[in-house]
Structures are given as structure tokens and as C-alpha cells.
């Protein structure tokens, strides 16, 4: 045992080494090396019989989903998919890992969050970080110039996630994109309509959809005196305005990114502005902004966008917001983000979680126009204009899970419509015969896996799992050619002839 104690002490010391390196932001190689030493020490500790003890946990930033959570999740997916289909989208799938070079240089400062895999016999691979870059690769590779597609799949990010806030290292994305050469702002407006309809149907509470344009941002940076080579990095800082106060953002621009105080203050005057079509008109008259051709093109498109949004009846939720930046490098035009408002999130706060936590769910959808991304993959640089939206399914799911917990409403995890039960012994064969009849007719049914189950335990099972009907067989029923159909909720029973049973079950379940 002395040896065990010795190893425990070594683990403790090595753990401190790793934590110290992390807090000092040491190089990844250095940290990895020390972590691997720590893991080797831990592996030396066996159980009492010398066997290695397993740690039963999911990997950092991941989670399991139990049947109740999956039932909620399935409902959300169905709502989203039916909206995508209503708008005429088809679906595709792509591999979970891509060649590393496919993903490199597309995500700006977030590139450090990409999961690289070990060399698999000559190919350097990475796990996909989003669904947009693989989509662009797919279009270029297959020479597709127009498609309206949705894609729902898992993506991977080496983030330090706050899992309470619906952020993970492995999570689903639900993307809808329109690729092709079309007239300005028509597909863009449809993407916003989709965000609006999905957030509305999911009933998450009050929300807003913020809209801006990369060209307006770049024009604004230019007229405020930001050097060209700092556009992207300043853009990433502006993107933090939803999480940080302007003072902190200004400080990062000036002291970390080396921007002049004067330029930062001029940016500050613009990023506080919010409005609708009238704000775009006002900025087109703005003495500084109107000097930028790029900004004017963006502002003209925003005006056009709002005119289509009026026709789609969604302007009550859309706001033109100059602070919206979206950190990804590949956006070239319109950008937008769906956020839950404080009021919409108050429901969460009442659920006992601290108010700040409940507010921080924030963005639940985002997207924009990326006209250059496909061209990056095309050998001849042929561009395919694209605009798309990604629904933040994990965050939405976190909110709905909290809502389900807060309301005492029972979530059903199966769809069984009827339980085939018996009141007497030796009726297993008859139960299985009836069960088969129901299955063959497409009715969702089940039976207890016992030869002679007690009627009470069969009824209790229905209560517990929310099965609405019980078909009860007994000697007398078999003689009379009937089945006793019992409604679990009201406990009412009726003898139904065997020939009419399937129609009766269908009638009752369709009413429910």
C-alpha cells in the first residue's frame, strides 16, 4: 500500500504542474506532455485486485441523452425539419472528418478550436468544426452551382465549454443554405423568415433577429481609421459586444489589438446604433459613412432586405444592429443572429438557476452570406454565391429541457398506443396472437414479457409510461370473440368485437 500512497502523492504533484502550465497559458505541446505523464501515473493505480479501475464519465464537453431528453430533442428536430421542407429544401450528409487543409484558414481566431486527428496513414484529418465549410467543399467538388439544402449533424470544437449554458465540444448543428446566382436579398430574406418561423414555432419566448452587413462593418472600420490589415481582428473584438461592455471591448481594441483611441471612439459612436429601414436611410446620408462605397452598397441592400421582410411579415422581430459582427472570416455580405430577449429568458431564471446564467443563452440562430467560400475550393476559383442559417439546436434544447422540468407536464418517451394484457393465467399465446395482429396493422403495441403477469402490474405499467389504451383478454372475451378495451385515463371499459378492434383503436388514438 505504501507504493499506492507514493503514486497518489505523485499524481497530486503532477496535477499541480498541469494546472500551473494552463494558468500560465504555456504551449499546447508542453501541456500535452505533462498531461500524458499524469495519465500514465493514474494508469498505475489499480483496484484492490490489481485491475485498472475505469472512470465512468463522459468526455469533457460531451453528454448522454436519456429517453426523456431525446423525446424533447426529437420534437425540436421535427419542427425544424418540417420548416426546412416547407421552404423546399433537400438534404445531404458529409463525413464527420475532413482533410485538415479543407478546414484551415476558414474560421479566423477560432481555428485553434479545431480537433486534429492523428495521422491516419498519410492523411492529416480534422473533425468538422461546422457544416458550412464541408458544404462549400461538397459544392466545389461536385461542381454544383445551385441547391437549396438542409443538413443536421454533429460538429466538434475544442472549446472550454460552459455546459450549463448549452455549450459543448460535440453538438448538433441544423443548417439551411441557398446556393446559386439569384437577385439581391430574395434568398437572404427567406433565410430570415425561416429563423423567425422556427423560433416562433418552438415557443421559446420573446426573441429578436439582429441584422447587419459585413460591407457596412468594413466600410465603417475604414472611415473610422482602422488599418486594412486589422479589419478582421477588430471585427472579432466587436463580435464580443453581446458578452462584454463597450469599455472592455474598447480596451481590447486599443491595448491588445493596437488600435488608436480615436479610431476606437469613432467605432463606438456607430456600434451603439439600432433601428430598421430608416436607420439605413439615415446612414446613407451620414457624412462619414457615405464616403465608403462598400458601406453604401451594404446599406442599400439592407433597405431592400427590409422591404422583402415586410412582405414576409417578420419586421416586428428584425432589428438592424451595427454592433453585430459574427466572428467567422468567410462572411461577405448580410449577417444575422437570432437572440432570445431578457424577457424571453425570464422563465429560465425562475427555475432556480442564477439570473445571469439564464440570460447568457443568448444567440439561438445565426448566419449570413458567404459568396467567396466555394471559390476557395474551386481550382479555377469559380464562385458560387451562398446564404445560409444555422439553428443553435443545443441552446434551444437546454431551454426547452428547463421548461419541461419547470412544468409538471409528463414527457412521453415511447409512442405505444395500446398494451395487450390478460386478466387470467395461461393466456400468453393469445396475447402474442393479438399483439401480432396489431403490429401487422401498423399499431404501436406492446406486451409484458411474462407468462402470467398480474393485471395490476400491467395497468401500472400503462400509467407510468403514458400508454392510453389497454386491450384485455380473458377466457370469456375469447369465447365471445371480443376484447375489453380500457381507457387508462378514465378507466372506462368497453367490449369491442375482434373484427372492429383495429378501427376502434385507430379512432381513439387519432382523437387523442
Stretch (H or E) spanning 266: helix 261-271
Specify binding-site residues for L-histidine: 130-132, 157, 173, 177, 326, 330-331
Q: What is the pLDDT of residue 359?
A: 39
- Three cell numbers, residue 305: 432586405
- Model confidence over 292-318: pLDDT tens digits? 999 999 999 999 999 999 999 999 999
- Model pTM above 0.95: no
User: The cell 453604401 sits on which residue?
Assistant: 296
Using CB atoms within 10 Å of the CB of residue 109, give its burial: 0 to 12 exposed, 13 to 18 middle, 19+ buried. middle
Long-range contacts of 273-280 (CB under 8 A, 24+ apart): 273/321, 273/322, 274/319, 274/320, 274/321, 274/322, 274/323, 275/319, 275/320, 276/306, 276/315, 276/318, 276/319, 276/320, 277/302, 277/303, 277/306, 277/307, 277/320, 279/320, 280/306, 280/320
Mean pLDDT lowest among 194-198, 365-369, 395-399, 503-507: 395-399
Contacts of 310 by beta carbon, 8 Å cutoff, 6+ apart: none
- What SS3 class is residue 491? coil
Q: What is the pLDDT of residue 354?
A: 39
- Model confidence over 104-143: pLDDT tens digits? 877 766 778 899 998 878 889 999 999 999 999 999 999 9
Q: What is the pLDDT of residue 42?
A: 79
Reference 493, options 462, 470, 475; nearest CA is 470
In the chain, the percentage of residues whose pLDDT exceeds 70 is 92
Q: What is the pLDDT of residue 49?
A: 55
Specify binding-site residues: 130-132, 157, 173, 177, 326, 330-331
Stretch (H or E) spanning 426: none
pLDDT at 222 over 50: yes
pLDDT at 356 over 90: no
Residue of 225 and 129 predicted with greater confidence: 129
Question: Mean pLDDT highest for which of 135-139, 254-258, 359-363, 410-414?
Answer: 135-139
Q: How confident is the model at residue 346 (pLDDT cuts 50, 70, 90)?
A: low
Q: What is the pLDDT of residue 351?
A: 47
Average pLDDT value over all residues in the chain: 88
- Count CB neighbours of 451 within 10 A: 12
Amino acid at each position: 500500500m505504501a507504493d499506492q500512497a507514493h503514486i497518489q502523492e505523485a499524481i497530486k504533484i503532477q496535477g499541480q504542474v498541469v494546472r500551473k502550465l494552463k494558468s500560465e497559458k504555456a504551449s499546447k505541446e508542453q501541456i500535452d506532455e505533462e498531461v500524458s505523464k499524469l495519465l500514465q501515473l493514474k494508469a498505475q493505480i489499480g483496484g484492490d485486485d490489481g485491475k485498472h479501475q475505469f472512470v465512468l464519465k463522459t468526455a469533457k464537453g460531451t453528454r448522454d441523452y436519456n429517453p426523456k431528453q431525446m423525446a424533447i430533442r426529437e420534437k425540436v428536430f421535427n419542427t425544424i425539419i418540417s420548416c426546412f421542407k416547407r421552404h423546399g429544401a433537400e438534404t445531404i450528409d458529409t463525413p464527420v472528418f475532413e482533410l485538415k487543409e479543407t478546414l484551415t484558414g476558414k474560421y479566423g481566431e477560432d481555428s485553434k478550436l479545431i480537433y486534429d486527428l492523428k495521422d491516419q496513414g498519410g492523411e492529416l484529418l480534422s473533425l468538422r468544426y461546422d457544416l458550412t465549410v464541408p458544404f462549400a467543399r461538397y459544392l466545389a467538388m461536385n461542381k454544383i452551382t445551385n441547391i437549396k439544402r438542409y443538413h443536421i449533424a454533429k460538429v466538434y470544437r475544442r472549446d472550454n465549454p460552459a455546459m450549463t449554458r448549452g455549450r459543448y465540444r460535440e453538438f448538433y448543428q441544423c443548417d439551411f443554405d441557398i446556393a446559386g446566382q439569384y437577385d439581391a436579398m430574395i434568398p437572404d430574406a427567406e433565410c430570415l423568415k425561416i429563423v423567425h418561423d422556427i423560433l416562433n414555432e418552438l415557443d421559446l419566448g420573446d426573441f429578436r433577429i439582429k441584422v447587419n452587413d459585413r460591407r457596412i462593418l468594413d466600410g465603417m472600420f475604414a472611415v473610422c481609421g482602422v488599418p486594412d490589415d486589422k479589419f478582421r481582428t477588430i471585427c472579432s473584438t466587436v463580435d464580443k459586444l453581446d458578452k462584454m461592455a463597450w469599455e472592455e471591448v474598447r480596451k481590447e481594441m486599443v491595448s491588445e489589438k493596437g488600435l488608436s483611441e480615436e479610431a476606437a471612439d469613432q467605432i463606438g459612436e456607430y456600434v451603439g446604433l439600432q433601428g430598421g429601414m430608416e436607420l439605413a436611410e439615415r446612414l446613407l446620408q451620414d457624412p462619414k459613412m457615405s464616403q465608403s462605397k462598400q458601406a453604401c452598397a451594404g446599406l442599400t441592400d439592407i433597405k431592400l432586405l427590409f422591404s422583402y421582410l415586410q412582405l414576409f411579415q417578420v419586421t416586428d422581430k428584425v432589428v438592424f444592429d451595427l454592433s453585430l459582427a459574427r466572428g467567422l472570416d468567410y462572411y461577405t455580405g448580410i449577417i444575422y443572429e437570432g437572440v432570445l430577449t431578457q424577457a424571453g429568458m425570464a422563465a429560465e431564471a425562475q427555475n432556480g438557476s442564477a439570473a445571469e446564467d439564464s440570460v447568457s443563452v443568448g444567440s439561438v440562430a445565426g448566419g449570413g452570406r458567404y459568396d467567396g467560400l466555394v471559390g476557395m475550393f474551386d481550382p479555377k476559383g469559380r464562385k458560387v454565391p451562398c446564404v445560409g442559417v444555422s439553428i443553435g439546436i443545443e441552446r434551444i434544447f437546454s431551454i426547452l429541457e428547463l421548461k419541461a422540468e419547470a412544468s409538471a407536464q409528463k414527457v412521453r418517451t415511447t409512442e405505444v398506443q395500446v398494451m395487450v394484457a390478460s386478466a387470467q393465467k395461461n393466456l400468453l399465446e393469445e396475447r402474442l396472437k393479438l399483439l401480432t395482429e396489431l403490429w401487422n396493422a401498423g399499431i404501436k403495441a406492446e406486451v409484458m414479457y411474462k407468462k402470467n403477469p398480474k393485471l395490476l402490474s400491467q395497468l401500472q405499467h400503462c400509467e407510468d409510461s403514458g400508454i392510453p389504451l389497454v386491450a384485455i383478454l380473458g377466457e370469456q372475451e375469447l369465447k365471445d370473440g371480443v376484447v375489453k378495451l380500457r381507457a387508462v385515463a378514465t378507466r372506462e371499459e368497453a367490449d369491442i368485437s375482434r373484427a372492429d378492434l383495429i378501427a376502434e383503436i385507430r379512432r381513439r388514438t387519432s382523437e387523442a
